Structure 1
């Protein structure tokens, strides 16, 4: 088990200047998206939203490590990873407004966001085992938070991955808090990464606020997984905001967390300062990147607003081939409610 620390000279990594700039662009894009999405939710544009501010470096670094043919299994806070992997911003906004998750016609290997905690981990192992049967060369990267490690699905998934050599990377964003519970309430182990030993594969800790370190570690982990050796990556990061827009972190989280500054510092500010010191970006590049990101976010919002209204009947269309009587009754009750409250029925 090892951990990579930030602030190594760029020449000491295998990532070139353009790769370093690409990571910065995606961190800015996703930060501006997150800020705008949070503002939209606060004015009722969508019902709820899980902000990821502070976790952009971990997610962008992981996305840049993936190949196009790899599978991505996101959790509900993986919006930055999805965007950096190629999912249109408008898809994510429309999903939050009650539309089918994949509104656009992309061919990315991305599964729907998993809102139930840890349910996506067995799916990732299943994809990996299926790849072994089919003879492919891709890997599956599954995202989850530190709280998900307390779920039985996590144990079952990792145990199967270890036993059956599933080409799976378990990417845990340890942001310090599982809603209101700190990490020490999740496990008595020294770290989450250390738990991988019990399943017979490697566990790695990485500075989750350094996108270059994350990219290196996840690239190595995916290469290992493709060879039949799964890996658990624990990215140490910090959730700056609330768990969701229904949460108030001031009620449980101290103003001065007992965590090192490298972990709680803003990853975008830290990475920009690093790139400036390396002579990779300047004021012009930063300004242009921010303006382009804002334009992209604005276009995504417009596209989401211009989309056809959601059809509430779609809630029932893909549940069963033949609806059981109970759901038939619920469907009829829902139609009657929507007829009485057309505005509610549209959302």
Structure 2
């Protein structure tokens, strides 16, 4: 008989969230919500060619991203972690440039931001995160990697390999799963055997936390606990944040083909932004004037980001050859020369 690994009891040196931090979390969630819904409109208007919305997942992303220590940790995202990027203070014009396909991986510096380039390969980010985390162990550093993926991606073989390696090597990595109920058009119960991604962690000797992904404070606390566990040398942690994708998988998706609006409203539960708003009001942490100001700032921020995106011009096509190998191969140099000859007008 196997036993389920438990999170190590580690003294957390971080103080409980202050009222200021709680208000900051709401401000971040409001900014993410407004930018996210605006980005869908941008795609419809032809400003960006595609976008993966995260409506309903703001608490999971902001709460986890807010726990990252940018002086030593590193985040490995998918294509849907705009809320994490915003919580970590990235240049959002640089981040959103990825959705315009303007440049490779986003026009931001991954080393400075501690936010790896967006990963469009399903579950591809988990391998990178485990490799970086193992590097921390080998070098004697105390950084923690956090990698994001969804319930659908959890069925990829890469996740098995990453978790197995991390479990054996006790790599300091947090596997953060946003279980939003859908693997594109397939509901979780039809593709996650056993009904829980977190339950799989025991097979790799990894402790797991299953948290209400629509409660930003609970997500933040779970993430902070996981980071403390990893940082103390106890190995990886799996977090499964139970949330819901309110809307399409991407701007190319039509959710009406696999669920009704009534089903979406029924299954989604309480809106995480409104839920946190009511909590702050009830606890006397914020008032209506604060929420009005947060919305005003969110709208102003979105307008600034949109203007920055629209001002971006095309990049030189020859750049594609400069980011393949550290030292260009003869074949690549030949291809670059041929491209320049045929495309000198680009």
Tell me the TM-score range normalised by the shorter chain: 0.7 to 0.9
Q: Indicate how the Cα distance of structure 1 residues 258 and 250 shifts in structure 2: closer, same or farther if over 3 A, else same.
A: closer
> Aligned with 1:169: secondary structure?
strand
1:177 aligns with 2:182: yes
Name which of structure 1's ranges 300-309 and 89-98 shifts more when overlaid on structure 2. Answer: 300-309
Who is 2:17 aligned against?
15
Would you say the 8 A contact 1:51–1:77 is kept in 2?
yes
Q: 1:255 aligns with which of 252, 255, 261?
A: 261
Residue deviations 1:41-65, cap 9 Å, x none? 1111111000111100000000111
In 2: Cα distance, 1:334 partner to 1:246 partner: 33
Residues 119-134 of structure 1 correspond to what in structure 2 (within 5 A)? 119-134=124-139
1:313-324 aligned within 5 A: 313-320=318-325, 321-322=327-328
Contact 1:94 1:100 in 2 (8 A): no
Aligned to 1:74: 77
Structure 1 residues 334 and 56: alpha-carbon distance in aligned structure 2, compared to 1, 3 A threshold = farther
Residue number in structure 1 paired with 2:7: none
Q: 1:133 to 1:326 in 2, by over 3 A?
A: closer
Query: How far 1:304 moved relative to its partner?
Result: 2.5
Q: 1: distance between equivalents of 2:157 and 2:330?
A: 30
Among 224, 228, 232, which residue is 2:238 paired with? 232
Partners of 2:169 and 2:22 lie apart in 1 by 36
Unaligned runs of 5+ in 1: 2-12, 340-344
Q: Tell me the TM-score normalized by structure 2.
A: 0.88
Partner of 1:49: 51
Equivalent position of 1:99 in the other structure? 103
Unaligned runs of 5+ in 2: 5-14
SS at match of 1:65: coil
Shift of 1:229: 2.3
What value does the CA root-mean-square deviation take over the aligned residues? 2.4
Find the aligned partners of 2:208 and 2:222 in 1 and give their Cα distance.
Answer: 11
Q: Contact 2:96 / 2:106 at 8 angstroms: preserved in 1?
A: no
Deviation per CA, 1:244-266, whole angstroms, max 9, x where unpaired?
Answer: 100001101243449976x5322
Q: Tell me: CA distance 1:44–1:259, structure 2 relative to 1, closer, same or farther (3 Å).
A: closer
**Structure 2 contact 106–118 (Cα < 8 Å) conserved:** no
CA distance in 2 between counterparts of 1:275 and 1:26 reads 14
TM-score of the pair, normalised by structure 1? 0.88
In structure 2, what is the Cα distance between the partners aligned to 1:84 and 1:276?
A: 22
